[in-house]
Chains A and B, each alone.
Chain A
């Protein structure tokens, strides 16, 4: 069984916030939540990661629910260059479990 569940695709208007959800209801206490994105024909790019607390960096914010069973990646002002497949990934001591990803389409 997949460790994470993500919607297959989402649309977002350029300039608006993109909120990408991920369910990880069986997450263990030691597992981190990572997010990567993959632009067509390139390798995945690291975005952000966290354990319990919400995290923010120059690319995005990560909101993890208190029970840690789900998380949301937020791109505050989506641009056309943010069009990509976004992967929610669980990490547990040297093992990364990639989900099937969400194709985010940013439209003008």
Chain B
């Protein structure tokens, strides 16, 4: 089974530009999560999509946005890039629906390394 795929692997942008990152979940997974991992730090939750809807977002400014398409793939957009946006952006997918008695792990891609200069 193919894993979570992310593109591009690396992305270099200039401050003030926009970046678009893409994610294809594992086949059959309807939920997509996005995380930011700055160099040497842990994972910070960005966004969660399920069945095409944004279900939750982390403590990030509105210039971080995204969407989920009918085929469950997802896109993360970062507008007005700042130097501190340089990080590894990780996408993960999982099956649904989720209840207390049933939950499934996240499966991660290998990320997009965004560098803002």
On A, residues with C-beta under 8 Å from B are 30, 32, 34, 36, 41-46, 49, 87, 91, 93-96, 98-101
With A34-B105, A87-B42 known as contacts, the answer to whether A96 contacts B33 (CB < 8 A) is yes
Of all chain A residues, the one with the shortest Cβ separation from B105 is A46
The 10 closest A-B pairs by CB, nearest first: A43-B108, A46-B105, A98-B43, A43-B110, A100-B42, A44-B108, A43-B109, A42-B110, A98-B42, A94-B98
Kindly state the separation between the CA atoms of A71 and B38 in the bound complex, as whole angstroms.
Answer: 27
Distance between B26 CB and nearest chain A CB, rounded to angstroms: 12
What class of interface size applies to chain B in its complex with A? 20 to 34
On B, residues with C-beta under 8 Å from A are 4, 31, 33, 35, 41-43, 45, 48, 50, 55-56, 90, 92, 98-100, 103, 105-111
With A94-B55, A96-B33 known as contacts, the answer to whether A87 contacts B43 (CB < 8 A) is yes
**Could you pull out 26 A-B pairs where Cβ atoms are within 8 angstroms?**
A30-B100, A34-B105, A36-B106, A36-B108, A42-B111, A43-B4, A43-B108, A43-B109, A43-B111, A44-B90, A49-B103, A91-B103, A93-B98, A93-B99, A93-B103, A94-B31, A94-B55, A96-B33, A96-B45, A96-B106, A98-B35, A98-B43, A98-B45, A99-B42, A100-B41, A101-B42
